[in-house]
Amino acid sequence: MAQHISYFSPGPAKIPDEVLAQVQEQLINFDTTGVSIMELSHRSKDFAKFMDKTEAVVRDLLCVPDNYRVLFMQGGGSGQFAAVPLNLISRTGKADYIVTGSWSSKAAKEAAKYGKVNYVVAKTERYTGVPDRSSWTFDPDASYVYYCANETIEGVEFHDVPEVPKGVPLVCDMSSNYFSKPVDVSKYGLIYGGAQKNIGCAGVTLVIIREDLLGKPQPICPTILDYTIMSKNKSLYNTPPSFAIHVLGEVLAWVKKEGGMAEMERRSVQKSKMIYTIIDNSSGFYSNNIQPRSRSYMNVVFRVGEGGGNEELEKKFLEKAAHQGLLSLKGHRSVGGIRASLYNAITIDDTQRLANFMKNFREENKI
Residues lying near ligand PMP in the complex (CB under 6 A) are found at 11, 76-78, 103, 148, 152, 173, 175-176, 194
197 is catalytic: yes
Nearer to ligand PMP, 19 or 201 (CB): 201
Catalytic residue chosen out of the listed positions 14, 94, 181, 197: 197
Nearer to ligand PMP, 202 or 313 (CB): 202
Shortest approach of ligand PMP to residue 124 CB, angstroms?
A: 18
Residue 62 has φ and ψ, to the nearest 5°, of -100, 5
Q: Which conformational region is residue 106 in: left (phi greater than 0), alpha (psi within -120 to 50 degrees), or beta?
A: alpha
Residue 205 has φ and ψ, to the nearest 5°, of -120, 125
Shortest approach of ligand PMP to residue 80 CB, angstroms?
A: 8
Nearer to ligand PMP, 76 or 200 (CB): 76
Residue 21 has φ and ψ, to the nearest 5°, of -65, -40
Shortest approach of ligand PMP to residue 173 CB, angstroms?
A: 5
Q: Report how far residue 5's alpha carbon sits from residue 37's, in angstroms, rounded to the nearest whole number.
A: 29
- Positions of E strands within 257-337: 286-287, 299-304, 326-327
257 is catalytic: no
Using only C-alpha atoms, the chain has a radius of gyration, in whole angstroms, of 21
Omega before residue 222 within 30° of 0, cis: no
Contacts of 9 (CB under 8 A, 6+ apart): 327, 328, 341
Contact between 120 and 145 (Cβ < 8 Å): yes
Shortest approach of ligand PMP to residue 148 CB, angstroms?
A: 5
Contact between 95 and 118 (Cβ < 8 Å): yes
- Indicate the residue type of 24: Q
Pairing of strands 299-304, 338-341: antiparallel
Shortest approach of ligand PMP to residue 302 CB, angstroms?
A: 18
Contact between 42 and 239 (Cβ < 8 Å): yes
Nearer to ligand PMP, 195 or 252 (CB): 195
301 DSSP β-pair partners: 339
CA distances from 59 to 10, 66, 70, 216, 257 (A): 26, 9, 8, 24, 15
53 is catalytic: no
Catalytic residue chosen out of the listed positions 14, 103, 136, 350: 103
Nearer to ligand PMP, 155 or 305 (CB): 155
Shortest approach of ligand PMP to residue 204 CB, angstroms?
A: 10
Catalytic residue chosen out of the listed positions 173, 181, 226, 330: 173
Nearer to ligand PMP, 4 or 109 (CB): 109
Q: Which residues are catalytic?
A: 103, 173, 197
